[in-house]
Amino acid sequence: MSSGKVLLGLLAGFTAGTLLGTLFASNNGDAESRNHFWNNDRDVNENEEKFNQVIEDITDKFEDLKEEIVYEKSNAKGN
């Protein structure tokens, strides 16, 4: 198969896909876009809460580790 036929096939497929996508696309694209906007905003808030919880957990673990190191250090000096 020559490269010309391959390129022609790709171009025909791209054109057919574009036409079919345009024909079957919903007419209420603006409403759909607004729905995605609000859903994305909600998702961002949920992800922000999850991220803040992870940071809080890491901070707590770091503080616990720091206290343990101080405790071990003070016991080592006492012996």
pTM: 0.44
Provide the residue count of the chain.
79
Look up residue 64 and give its two tokens. Answer: 């616990």
pLDDT per 10-residue tile (average), the chain, 79 residues: 81 87 67 62 82 93 91 80
Predicted local confidence at residue 26, as pLDDT: 62
Q: Which two tokens stand for residue 26?
A: 């919903």
| Amino acid 77: pLDDT | 74
> What is d(CA 39, CA 31) in angstroms, rounded to the nearest whole number?
12
- What's residue 30's pLDDT? 60
* Model pLDDT, residue 62: 93
pLDDT value at residue 76: 82
Burial 3-31 (b: 16+ CB within 10 A, else e): eeeeeeeeeeeeeeeeeeeeeeeeeeeee
Report the half-sphere exposure of 79 (CA within 13 A, side-chain side). 5
